[in-house]
Amino acid sequence: MKAMVLHQIAPIETAPLKLEEVPIPESQVDEILVKVGACGVCRTDLHVIEGDLKREKLPIIPGHQVVGKVVKEGNKFKKGDRIGIAWLRHTCQSCFYCEHGKENLCESSRYTGYHRDGGYAEYAVVPEEYAYHIPEGFSDAEATPLLCGGIVGYRAYKRADVPLGGKLGIYGFGSSAHIIFQIAKYQGCEVFVATRDPRHQAFAKEMGADWVGAGDSILPTPVDSIIIFAPAGNLVPIALRSLKPGGIVVNAGIHMSNIPQMSYEDCLFHEKQLRSVESNTRIDGQEFLALAEEIPIKPHITLFPLEKANEALLKVKQNAIQGTAVLIP
């Protein structure tokens, strides 16, 4: 099969992913084999490729927003079923966190496109219990951003504890943010978007944001909750200053630059809270996909052939994609 393979950590500008012919992966016990229809490009892929995350496996095929059809079935999914493969692909299911509904914190957790090969390929495998049914209302390509930007963004939204009809601030307006924006508006929230790129500012206005400003702006009115999607630690004190008393700031990314020193009185006093997000639980995924179908979410996507993965990732790094880049094998 064709696959885009990473052999060495390197800047995406050097086009480190190589198109290669590799064997079709063999599914192990409790795994299913999937013919990939589409794979979304995520900023986390960039963090893996450029070494922002600790190196776990090389060579590696990245990609963890995979939609395709089952070609070698298991017990839960049958041949021809359309399924999704997401970032979380294994937990121990027996530790304190797994037994208390927090499997995303399992110390034995493993991830697609990081510990095991992912979806920048024509075929992929996944443990059956970590695969998702894909709602019929989405094409393969449209469904891909739901599997990370959507699911992990949804966990960030839950942790932000946004009141119905409340005020939500969003910093950064990429793949995940444009999906979670739609949930907030569906639930009657006012949404304030701060993003540095003029194209993303225009995109947020087009989608119906109640206010749009520069990426490092203090919001024009104090808000109930804020989600920081941009991997920029300097935004944390700015966001905290934009909160109402008792409000919550959530850092949604897997990687963020260092948070600068900040004033306790200006930023954290008045019972303000700062939270992080680590992956998601499978319950998060099931809840989100049901909600995405109900709304329905309308992902904005830009298609690239598989062999253009380096180009797609570079555009993600340059913030040149509205919504999500999607690879088609």
Which pLDDT belongs to residue 266? 94
Tokens of 158: 């839950």
124 and 163 belong to one structural domain: no
| pLDDT 10s digits, 88-145 | 999 999 999 999 999 999 999 999 999 999 999 999 999 999 999 999 999 999 999 9
Return the percentage of the chain with pLDDT > 90, whole number. Answer: 97
Q: At what angle do helices 282-294 and 149-160 cross, to 10 degrees?
A: 100
**Residues 6 or more apart from 84 whose CB is under 8 A from it?**
65, 66, 67, 131, 132, 133, 134, 143, 144, 146, 147, 289
Give the 3-state secondary structure of residue 297. Answer: coil
206 and 102 belong to one structural domain: no
How high does pLDDT run on average in the chain? Answer: 97
Which pLDDT belongs to residue 281? 97
Q: At what angle do helices 149-160 and 175-186 cross, to 10 degrees?
A: 50
172 and 189 belong to one structural domain: yes
Q: pLDDT band for position 310 (50/70/90)?
A: very high
10 and 133 belong to one structural domain: yes
Which pLDDT belongs to residue 252? 97
306 and 268 belong to one structural domain: no
| pLDDT 10s digits, 160-183 | 999 999 999 999 999 999 999 999
Q: Quick check: 74 pLDDT over 90?
A: no
| pLDDT 10s digits, 8-61 | 999 999 999 999 999 999 998 899 999 999 999 999 999 999 999 999 999 999
Count CB atoms within 10 A of the CB of residue 75: 9
272 and 289 belong to one structural domain: no
Q: 195: domain CATH number?
A: 3.40.50.720
Helices (H), 144-242: 149-160, 175-186, 198-207, 235-241
* Dihedral-angle region of residue 284 (phi above 0 means left; psi in -120 to 50 means alpha; beta otherwise): alpha
Give the 3-state secondary structure of residue 221. Answer: coil
**Residues 6 or more apart from 26 whose CB is under 8 A from it?**
33, 125
DSSP state of 115: T
Q: Residue type for 151, please? A: I
Q: Residue 65's closest CA among 138, 27, 116, 120?
A: 120
17 and 102 belong to one structural domain: yes
118 and 200 belong to one structural domain: no
Count CB atoms within 10 A of the CB of residue 72: 16
Tokens of 297: 């979410």
Q: Are 184 and 191 in contact (CB under 8 A)?
A: yes
Q: 56: domain CATH number?
A: 3.90.180.10
- DSSP-assigned states of every residue in 190-258: EEEEE-S-HHHHHHHHHHT-SEEE-TTPPPSS-EEEEEE-SS-TTHHHHHHHTEEEEEEEEE--S--PP
Q: pLDDT band for position 73 (50/70/90)?
A: confident
125 and 52 belong to one structural domain: yes
Task: Choose the final residue of a domain: 259, 276, 293.
Answer: 276
Which pLDDT belongs to residue 65? 98
Q: Residue type for 197, please? A: D
260 and 289 belong to one structural domain: no
Sign of CA pseudo-dihedral 315, 171, 274, 279? negative
Distance CA 300, CA 318 (A): 17
Q: Are 78 and 41 in contact (CB under 8 A)?
A: no
Residue the block writes with tokens 């992956």? 279
Rounded to 10 degrees, what is the CA torsion of 255, 260, 266, 268? 40
Average pLDDT over residues 310-317: 97
Q: How many domains does the chain have?
A: 2
Burial of 1 (0-12, 13-18, 19+ CB in 10 A): middle
Question: In whole angstroms, what separates CA 306 from the centre of its chain?
Answer: 19
231 and 209 belong to one structural domain: yes
Pairing of strands 243-251, 324-328: unpaired
DSSP state of 248: E
**Which pTM does this prediction carry?**
0.95
297 and 224 belong to one structural domain: no
Domain that holds residue 138: 2-148+279-328
